[in-house]
Amino acid sequence: MSSTQQTEVGYVVSSRDFLVYLDGLPTIKVNDMVESDTGLRGWVTSTFEDKIEVLMLDEGAIKPKQEFRRLTNRLGINVGDFLLGRAVNSLGVPIDGKGLLSRTKTNLNLELDREALGIESREFIANQFLTGITLIDTLIPLGRGQRELVLGDAHSGKTGFLIDIVVNQKNTGVICVLASIGKPAVVVRNLIDTLRLNKALDYNVIIATSSSEPPPLIFLTPKTAFTIAEYFQKKGKDVLLILDDLGSHAKIYREISLLSNKSPGRESYPGDMFYQHAHLLERAGNFLPEYGGGSITALPVIELSLSDFTTLIPTNLMSMTDGHLLFKAGLRSQGQTPAIDLSLSVSRVGRQTQDQMTNLLSTRVRQVLSAAADLETISRFSLELPPETQLILKRRELIMEILKQDPLTAIPKQIQAILLALPFTTFLQNKNRSFVEKYKVIISEAFLKHPQLIPITKSITKLKTDEELIKLLEAAGAVLAKLCP
Amino acid sequence: MNEILSIILKDTYSLTSLKHRLRILQSYFLKTFFGEIETSVNMPLSPQDSNWLKSLPSSFYQKFNKDNIYNIFSGLEKIGTNTPILTMHLAFELNDTTLSQIGAFTRKTFDSPSLLLDIKVDPNLIAGTALSWKGVYRDYSLRAKLEQKRQELLEEFRKFLR
C-alpha cells in the first residue's frame, strides 16, 4: 500500500475555544500538524496516553467526532532570500499585499521549534554591533550575537529607538528580522511605512501577528522570527532580531496554558514560562564558520507597567539576556532621547568588543557621571562649590547633552568618540549646555568635512588611549572656536 | 451489564443503530414501568424497531426493573463508547441487509464480536471504501486507485487524444 493511501486520523474528543483534544493518530509526535475535513489546521502541542492536544491555527467551528488527518509536513515555514522586504505572519503567509512570496516550489522548509545550537557551535563575541546611537555604542555597547533586553514604560520611546537601530543598519550588510507580536494591525502598517520611507525595507523581514488573530498563531511569532533569523545566520549574515514584545507573548502563553488546564504559578503564568523564553533566546548568538558563521543579535522588548521591573516576566528575561536597556517615560518627557536610564542599564558582553580607546573613554565618562550623581545632593545645599566639583557637574551636563540624539539620526563611531572626549578639553571648559545643543551638529559635520579636522577623525582608529584623543582635540580647539562663534 | 450489551450487539452492527436501539429500548422500559399500560403497547415504532423489540428473548426483559433501569442505561452508554469502532467511509448509503452482512463479515475478520461500524457517506470516494481503525486510515476506494495511477491514466488519455 502506498503512502498516498494510508494516513492517520483522529477524532475530536473535546474542544475548548482554539484547543482541541483528539483520539486516534497512533504515531503522532509533538509539533506535527493535523488538518480537519473542513481544512482547518492544528498544531500538536502535547500527547497523552489516550488523546493528543492540538492548538488550532485556523479559526472555524469544531464538531464532536470531527475527523482530523495527519499532515505530512511538520510545523515549519518556507524560507529563502525572497523574504527580504516582505511582511509575513507566523506561518509564512504574506500579509503585505505584495502577492506570492516565491514562485519556485522547491523552497527550504525549516521547522519552527528547533533546539538551540550547543556550546560547540558558539564563538566568542568579539565584534561590536554598531547602532549609530552615541549612548549605546560608547557607554552600553552591544556585541554581535548578544542578547540585550529592551524594557521600559509605555511611551518611553522604545519602538522609536528600535526603528532607529534598524534604519542605521543600512549598507552594513546586517539583516533585520522584526517580530511584532500581537500588536494592532495599524501599528504593523505604520512600521512597514516608516521603514519604506527610510528606504530600509530591503534588508528587513517583518513577522507580524495582529492582536485579533488566534492566540496559537500569535504564540508562534517569535519562533518563526528565530527560524528566519537562523536561515540568514547560516548563510554567514549578521542578523538583528527584534521581538516586540515578549510581554504579550507571555500573556498569550498564559491564556493557552490556563485553557489547557495547566496549573497556574506566579502571576498565573504556567510553570514552564521561563523555559519558553529561555528556549527562544538561547537560539541567538555568535556562531563558528562550520555552523554558518553568522550571528543573531537579539533585542527582546518588554513593556513595564509603572516602571516596575521586578515582576515575573521582566526578571525572567533579565536573567536570560546579556544585559538590559531600561527606558523611562520620565526621562523622555525631560527631553532625553533615547530615554535610557544609564545607571540601571547594563551590557555584559559589549565591553569586550569595544576598542581600547573607546573603552577607556567610556570608563572616564562613566566616572564623571557617577561622581556627579554623588555630588548632586551636596550641590543643592551649598551655594559656593569647590571648582573641581563645579567642573564635574558641568561635564556631566555637557555629556548628557551630547548623549541626546534626535530620532532617525546616525552618528559614526569616530564622531561619537570625538563628541564624548570634547567635554574634557579646554574648548568646552567654559561653555554651557545650550552651546553644545546649538553647535553639536556643526561640530560633528566639521569633523567629517573640514580639511583641518578630517586627519583627527581618520587617526582615531590608531589611538591607544583616550588621553591621546583628548590631546589631539585640544590642538583642534582653535579651529572649533572659529566654527562656533 | 456486559451480557445485556452482548444481546443487543448480536444483530446491531453500526454505532448509529446501537444508539437508536438503546434509545427505543429505554423509552419502552420507561413507559412500561412508569407510564400508563395502554401507551406502552401503542408505542409509535417503525416495523423494524418493533420486530427487533419482539425478537429479544424474554429472559432479557426480566433483567430490567423499576430500580435498576437508570443505572443499567447509563452503564450501557459508558460501555458502548468503549467498544471497538471501525470507521467506514462509503460512497453510498447502506441498507439494513447489506449493513448486517458487512457487519457480520467485519466481526468475523477482525475477530471481535462487539465491533461496531461507524458509517460515513462520502460520495467523493466514487466506489469502494476507506477504513479507519485505531487511528490509521486506509483508502481502498476507486478515488485512491485513480489517484495512484494518475500519471499512467493521463498518459493513456493523451495517447488517445493524439
In a shared domain, residues A304 and A434: no
Q: What is the pLDDT of residue B38?
A: 57
Which of B137, B144, B147 lies closest to A69 in CB terms? B137
- Please say whether the dihedral angle defined by the alpha carbons of residues A274, A280, A281 and A286, taken in this order, is positive or negative: positive
In a shared domain, residues A329 and A315: yes
> Given B47, B81, B115, which residue is the final one in a domain?
B81
Q: Residue A330 has which C-alpha cell? A: 520620565
Q: How far apart are CA A143 and CA A189, in angstroms?
A: 30
Q: Tell whether B91 is covered by a domain.
A: yes
Q: Tell whether B88 is covered by a domain.
A: yes
Cβ of A6 and B147 within 8 Å?
Answer: no
Q: What is the pLDDT of residue B76?
A: 87
* Shortest distance, CA B61 to any CA of chain A (angstroms): 33
In a shared domain, residues B58 and B33: yes
CB of B139 less than 8 A from some CB of A: yes
Instruction: Find out whether A375 and A389 touch, Cβ atoms under 8 Å.
Output: yes
Q: Tell whether A3 is covered by a domain.
A: no
Query: What pairs with residue A76 in β-bridges?
Result: A111
Cβ of A24 and B134 within 8 Å?
Answer: yes
A169 burial level (CB within 10 Å; 0-12, 13-18, 19+)? buried
In a shared domain, residues B77 and B90: no
In a shared domain, residues A113 and A223: yes
Q: What is the pLDDT of residue A1?
A: 45
Which of B87, B132, B144 lies closest to A5 in CB terms? B144
In a shared domain, residues A238 and A363: no
In a shared domain, residues B91 and B73: no
> Given B57, B81, B105, which residue is the final one in a domain?
B81
Q: What is the CATH number of the domain that holds A60?
A: 2.40.30.20
Cα distances (angstroms) measured from residue A139 to each of A258, A340, A364, A370, A392: 42, 11, 10, 13, 18
> Given B24, B54, B81, which residue is the final one in a domain?
B81
Q: In angstroms, how far is CA A52 from the centroid of its own chain?
A: 35
Cβ of A4 and B135 within 8 Å?
Answer: no
| Residue B79 vs residue B87, higher pLDDT | B87
In a shared domain, residues B57 and B100: no
Cα distances (angstroms) measured from residue A276 to each of A31, A181, A459, A466, B80: 15, 15, 47, 43, 41
Q: Which DSSP letter does residue A476 get?
A: T
Q: Outline where A260-355 has alpha helix (H).
A: 273-281, 312-320, 329-333
Q: What is the CATH number of the domain that holds A256?
A: 3.40.50.300
Q: How many CB pairs under 8 A join A and B?
A: 38
> Given A73, A105, A121, which residue is the final one in a domain?
A73
Q: Outline where A413-460 has alpha helix (H).
A: 413-421, 433-449, 454-459
In a shared domain, residues B72 and B37: yes
Q: How far apart are CA A13 and CA A51, in angstroms?
A: 8
Residues of B in contact with A14 (CB under 8 A): none
In a shared domain, residues A49 and A155: no
Identify the H or E element spanning A377: helix A356-381
Residues of A in contact with B138 (CB under 8 A): 1, 5-6
Hey, of A7, A23, A71, which one would you mutate to test binding to chain B, going by the most B CBs within 10 A of its CB? A7
Residues of B in contact with A8 (CB under 8 A): 135-137
pLDDT by residue for chain A (485 residues), tens digit each? 454 578 999 999 999 999 999 998 999 999 999 999 899 999 999 999 999 999 999 999 999 989 999 999 899 999 999 999 999 999 999 998 888 887 676 778 899 998 999 999 999 999 999 999 999 999 999 999 999 999 999 889 999 999 999 999 999 999 999 999 999 999 999 999 999 999 999 999 999 999 999 999 999 999 999 999 999 999 999 999 999 989 999 999 999 999 999 999 999 999 999 999 999 999 999 999 999 999 999 999 999 988 889 999 999 999 999 999 999 999 999 999 899 999 999 999 999 999 999 999 999 999 999 999 888 877 777 678 888 888 999 999 999 999 999 988 999 999 999 999 999 999 988 888 899 999 999 999 999 999 999 999 999 989 999 999 999 999 888 888 888 87
In a shared domain, residues B68 and B101: no
- Nearest residue of B to residue A24 by CA position? B135
Hey, of A1, A4, A9, A63, which one would you mutate to test binding to chain B, going by the most B CBs within 10 A of its CB? A9
> Given A33, A53, A73, which residue is the final one in a domain?
A73
As a whole number, the mean pLDDT across chain B is 87
- Nearest residue of A to residue B132 by CA position? A9
In a shared domain, residues A451 and A418: yes
Q: How confident is the model at residue B161 (pLDDT cuts 50, 70, 90)?
A: confident
Q: How far apart are CA A325 and CA A306, in angstroms?
A: 16
Q: Tell whether B76 is covered by a domain.
A: yes
Which of A2, A9, A23 lies closest to B137 in CB terms? A9
Residues of A in contact with B144 (CB under 8 A): 4-5
Q: How far apart are CA A257 and CA A262, in angstroms?
A: 5
The domain total for chain A is: 3
In a shared domain, residues A404 and A283: no
Q: Tell whether A238 is covered by a domain.
A: yes
Q: Tell whether A289 is covered by a domain.
A: yes
Residue keyed to cell 522604545: A158
ipTM of the complex in this document: 0.77
| Residue A41, domain extent | 9-73
Phi and psi torsions of A16, nearest 5° = -140, 110
Angle of helix B69-82 relative to helix B2-9, nearest 10 degrees, comes to 60
Q: Tell whether B90 is covered by a domain.
A: yes
Q: Tell whether A2 is covered by a domain.
A: no
In a shared domain, residues B130 and B99: yes
Kindly tell me if the per-residue pLDDT of B31 is higher than 90.
Answer: no
Q: What is the pLDDT of residue B34?
A: 86
CA atoms within 13 A on the CB side of A68: 35
Which of B87, B140, B148 lies closest to A2 in CB terms? B148
Phi and psi torsions of B63, nearest 5° = -75, -15
DSSP assignment of A47-115 equals E-SS-EEEEESS-----TT-EEEEEEEESEEEESGGGTTEEE-TTS-B-SSS--S-S-S--EEEESSPP
> Given A331, A353, A375, which residue is the final one in a domain?
A353
Residues of B in contact with A72 (CB under 8 A): none
In a shared domain, residues B76 and B29: yes
Residues of A in contact with B89 (CB under 8 A): none
In a shared domain, residues A31 and A61: yes
In a shared domain, residues A339 and A362: no
In a shared domain, residues B12 and B71: yes
| Nearest 10 degrees: Cα torsion A278, A282, A284, A287 | 170
The domain total for chain B is: 2
In a shared domain, residues B58 and B115: no
In a shared domain, residues B76 and B88: no
Which of B136, B139, B140 lies closest to A26 in CB terms? B136
| Residue B88, domain extent | 84-148
Q: What is the pLDDT of residue A105?
A: 67
- Nearest residue of A to residue B122 by CA position? A37
In a shared domain, residues A143 and A49: no
- Nearest residue of B to residue A12 by CA position? B135
Which of B135, B140, B147 lies closest to A4 in CB terms? B147
In a shared domain, residues A54 and A91: no
Q: Tell whether B51 is covered by a domain.
A: yes
Q: How far apart are CA A440 and CA B46, in angstroms?
A: 96
Phi and psi torsions of B46, nearest 5° = -75, 160
In a shared domain, residues A199 and A315: yes
